[in-house]
Amino acid sequence: MSFQQGLSGLNASSKALDVVGNNVANSSTVGFKSSSGHFADVYAASLSGSGASQVGIGTSLSSVFQQFTQGNITTTSNTLDIAINGGGFFKVTRDNLVAYTRNGQFHTDTQGYIINDQNYRLMGYLATSTGEIVPSEPAEIRLDASNIAPRATGDVLGGDAEMVLNLDSSKDVPTVTTFNYNNPLSYTYSTAQTVYDTLGVEHNITYYFVKTSTTGQWDVHATLDGADPQSMGSLQFDTNGQLTSTMPMALPTTWTVSTGAASPLGSGLPNWNIDFTGSTSFAGDSTVNSQYQGGFSQGSLSSISIGTDGIVLGNYSNGQTKKLAQVVLTTFPNANGLINAGNNLYQATSTSGQGLDGTPGAGSRGMLQSSAIEESNVDLTAELVNMITLQRNYQANAQSIKTQDQIMQTLVNLR
């Protein structure tokens, strides 16, 4: 008699129960992927073969495969919680050891690096000084807490100041013909705009619009920080109320400005223009519809946000945003070839193939969702059913051994 078949069944069922137990234990582990046991039959080796009369000698657990199906996504209150909706792994590193994970529970350390609970640093493509992201070798993402530099109005990046307004065509020509910004009867409408110098110092420009005739001409005067007003020229509108004047208009360069700074207005500023393109002169209230300052003051990092494409944006106190980095996702030719290193981490092997880094949404890589986590993909109902089935298998194999024992006892008792 042979007990081998029953023993192999007990052993295989026990290992399969271990797999199910591990799945159940990790049903609440963020980013966990459930496993399933694969079984194989076992036959005795024979050089000559035994044909159809060959009897198996049991079973074995041939492999344990993880199921990399999508887990449910749950929202959280932490911006740095990131869920992957689709394929790919986060790439993380610690002490030059690279690992991969589906657990997107991240936070920052004292140096500004984005890390997980095991102090592995999240990797991605870093932005250049101008805020451009060029895919290259992924590096550790570090949030730069330094202030964003100011930009002067008229800077080559920011451009000139702009203003789109409507000047009431139904207004009468002022009765006071000599313009005086201290006398409201000498102009038709006025409005102000904030601009910036190279040091980020705010300056106030006040524009005064004087309707000079019924043919659609408006003279423009301006003051900077309360200095004596200067003439800027005229705006001409056609009979349809559309602006026909050539834009932009040059600001006066004779203003005397004192900001108390070491270099007031930087290098020869103000040197910007004002563009009124899009302005109209319809019958109706004079009003500013939109304006663009062309610059901004310095600002400190107030918060960050992460888009579905993995781009990490810094939001600053001056209302500006700046690209800081882009999270990368890594895919593998054979994800089941990864070594499970524990702590929700995987490591690449020759079986998994070389990891392929890329941006979220590219190829088979999924999109990201900030302030969210991917739950475990364990189906508790299915696992409990599997547990019952394996329990019955274990009992049946034990019964097989018991039957073999009874038969052997019968043979021993023969006289």
**Average pLDDT for residues 66-70, to the nearest whole number?**
92
- Closest by Cα among 286, 270, 153 to 218: 286
pLDDT of 344 higher than 70: yes
pLDDT of 310 higher than 90: yes
Q: Could you give the C-alpha distances from 79 to 16, 90, 110, 278, 333, in angstroms and in order? A: 39, 16, 17, 40, 31
Give the per-residue pLDDT at 54. Answer: 72
**Average pLDDT for residues 118-145, to the nearest whole number?**
91
Give the per-residue pLDDT at 167. Answer: 95
Q: How far apart are the first and last CA of the chain?
A: 19
pLDDT of 151 higher than 90: no
pLDDT of 272 higher than 80: no
Give the per-residue pLDDT at 262. Answer: 42
- Worst-scoring range by mean pLDDT, 69-73, 141-145, 153-157? 153-157
Tokens describing residue 253: 């360069």
pLDDT tens-digit series, residues 166-176: 999 999 999 89
Give the per-residue pLDDT at 267. Answer: 45
| Confidence tier at 314 by pLDDT (50, 70, 90) | very high
pTM of the model: 0.78
pLDDT of 203 higher than 50: yes
Q: Which domains does the chain have, with CATH numbers?
A: 4-69+377-412 (no CATH), 74-148+301-374 (no CATH), 165-292 (2.60.98.20)
Across the chain, mean pLDDT equals 88
Q: Could you give the C-alpha distances from 16 to 9, 36, 65, in angstroms and in order? A: 10, 8, 12
Return the beta strands (E) in 198-264 as ranges. 202-211, 217-224, 230-236, 249-250
Question: What does DSSP say about strands 161-166 and 273-275: parallel, antiparallel, or unpaired?
Answer: parallel
Give the per-residue pLDDT at 111. Answer: 92
Q: Bigger pLDDT: 93 or 319?
A: 93
Which amino acid belongs to residue 374?
E
pLDDT tens-digit series, residues 227-269: 778 888 999 999 999 999 999 888 776 665 544 444 445 544 5
DSSP labels, 181-200: TT-GGG-SEEEEEEEE-TT-
pLDDT of 53 higher than 80: no
**Average pLDDT for residues 109-114, to the nearest whole number?**
94
- Worst-scoring range by mean pLDDT, 22-26, 62-66, 106-110, 267-271? 267-271
For residue 16, with 0-12 CB atoms within 10 Å meaning exposed, 13-18 middle and 19 or more buried, which class applies? buried
- Neighbour count for residue 394 (Cβ, 10 Å): 18
Percent of the chain with pLDDT over 90: 57
**Average pLDDT for residues 120-130, to the nearest whole number?**
92
pLDDT of 1 higher than 60: no
The one-character DSSP state at 337 is G
pLDDT tens-digit series, residues 72-101: 999 999 999 999 999 999 999 999 999 999
| Confidence tier at 134 by pLDDT (50, 70, 90) | confident
Q: Bigger pLDDT: 25 or 225?
A: 25
Contacts of 312 (CB under 8 A, 6+ apart): 124, 141, 143, 304, 305, 306, 323, 324, 325, 326, 327
pLDDT tens-digit series, residues 348-386: 999 999 999 999 999 999 999 999 999 999 999 999 999
